[in-house]
A = this chain, B = another copy of it.
Amino acid sequence: MATVNENYLSLQGSYLFSTIAKKVREYEETHPDANIIRLGIGDVTKPLVPAVIDALHKAVDEMSSALTFHGYAPDLGYDFLRSKIAENDFKARGIDISSDEIFVSDGAKSDTSNIQEIFAADSKVAVCDPVYPVYVDSNVMAGRAGEFDSDLMAYKRLIYMPCTKENDFVPELPKETPDLIYLCFPNNPTGMAITKERLQGFVDYALKHNAVILYDSAYEAYISDPSLPHSIYECAGAKECAIEFRSFSKNAGFTGLRLGFTVVPKDLKLSGTSLHSLWARRHGTKFNGAPYIVQRAGEAVYSPEGKEQVKKQVLDYLKNASFLKAGLEKAGFTVFGGENSPYIWLKTPNDMTSWDFFDLLLSKVNIVGTPGSGFGRSGEGYFRLTAFNTFENSALAIERIKAASLL
């Protein structure tokens, strides 16, 4: 008799963003005239840049002729893209990562959720709190999280590393020793960055305890402070203890195009077994490559024009972030993030819960944000806004918030 994977039954509620979408849909149905400003989900609003559009058209044309048609892509990605990534994202920063340590995929969400598969089923997992729900849920599905304790709002087998204003939203080293440590900097949802020194602390800790760091660097393009690390491989020893995830979604607006990559250094081994080989085997068995045309679009991001065009987009989003932050502070809110990140992490006023503040913001000023508690118990009392909407809408949001006296 077939039975289901019971770990799925331990998952809490539905996926955060689906819940938000449902609430917004319901509000729209009852308030058809509301002009809702979406500062919730981390989706971009700017179109693909001209260099990417040109590359897509050109690649589509190639697909129309038998002589230039491309069928199955190489499992791990086309060399034309992997070499550009190695050159621009790593070698140009003095980091020794070679193109064959780069695995091209359909995005960081897939990779950060699938990576846990190559580790033992009883691995002890540490996550930041608050946290991008995908790291947690993918481990719940695999049975590593244990039961959910609804009093503590936490899974019993996970190690939570609180990120609070007391520690500048960068967690302390965990007391209980984990096997796997998920880190994301600049952080989603808090928008706060990590210094190289603090990151080196995690690398040293992982090396000492034979733990593996799963480092999500999807937002590195938003780093403004030149002293901050873009890659974990800027830290000594990281190639022996860390896997890094990158995305084209936030630096080049590929949310609807789907492209990302994962770096698994060849030096990274557990008891002699190469994680590079395991991940290559997973890719070869369960994935069939990112579309040729999308990989060509990714290549165009590294062309001189492409680089300039996507940099301008990122600067525009950072301008929104800065405007939102300043406006909120002026309105009397306590605000974090938004300097090296497209995310603003807001303290809810008057100790409101995150979801109460969500409802207030939606109903009173027609603004959609993301409740901090949706990212974990330490997110309670916080609220995430994103800088991915237009400048006009970001400005209008601030105007409405100032006028509404929400405090």
Residues of A within 8 A of B (CB): 1-6, 8-9, 11, 14-15, 18, 41, 43-48, 50, 53, 56-57, 60-61, 63-66, 69-73, 75, 106-107, 109-110, 113-114, 117-121, 123, 133-134, 137-138, 141, 143, 179-180, 209-212, 253, 255-258, 270-271, 273, 275, 278, 281-282, 284-294, 390
Contact = CB atoms under 8 A, between A and B. Distances in A.
The 4 closest A-B pairs by CB, nearest first: A43-B71, A113-B286, A2-B179, A1-B210
A141 B282 contact: yes
Given A69-B46, A106-B288, A120 B3 contact: yes
Nearest to A212: B2
30 contacts: A2-B119, A2-B180, A2-B211, A2-B270, A3-B123, A3-B271, A4-B271, A4-B273, A4-B275, A5-B118, A8-B278, A8-B281, A15-B75, A18-B75, A46-B66, A48-B69, A56-B293, A63-B257, A69-B253, A71-B256, A73-B256, A106-B106, A106-B258, A106-B287, A107-B288, A110-B286, A114-B286, A138-B286, A257-B292, A257-B293
A365 to B, nearest CB: 23
A73 to B, nearest CB: 6
Copies of this chain held together in the complex: 2
A48 B64 contact: yes
Contacts of A15: 75, 281, 284-285
A378 B109 CA distance: 39
B3 A285 contact: no
Contact of A286 (B46, B109, B290): B109
A113 B281 CA distance: 13
Contacts of A60: 53, 56-57, 60
Scoring A107, A113, A286 by chain B CB atoms within 10 A of each residue's CB, the highest score goes to A286
A258 B290 contact: yes
A217 to B, nearest CB: 17
A141 B285 contact: yes
A117 B5 contact: yes
A388 B253 CA distance: 36
B63 A43 contact: no
A210 B75 contact: no
Nearest to A274: B4
A293 B56 CA distance: 10
B45 A66 contact: yes
Contacts of A110: 286-288
B48 A119 contact: no
A44 to B, nearest CB: 6
A258 B293 CA distance: 10
Contacts of A179: 1-3
Contacts of A18: 75, 284
A284 B50 CA distance: 30
A113 B114 CA distance: 12
A167 to B, nearest CB: 25
Given A2-B123, A270-B3, A285-B15, A47 B71 contact: no
Contacts of A209: 1
A281 B44 contact: no
A119 B46 CA distance: 40
Contact of A256 (B253, B278, B281, B292): B292
A69 B390 CA distance: 13
Nearest to A63: B48
B64 A120 contact: no
A67 to B, nearest CB: 8
A212 B255 CA distance: 35
Contacts of A256: 63, 69-73, 289, 291-292
Contacts of A281: 8, 11, 14-15
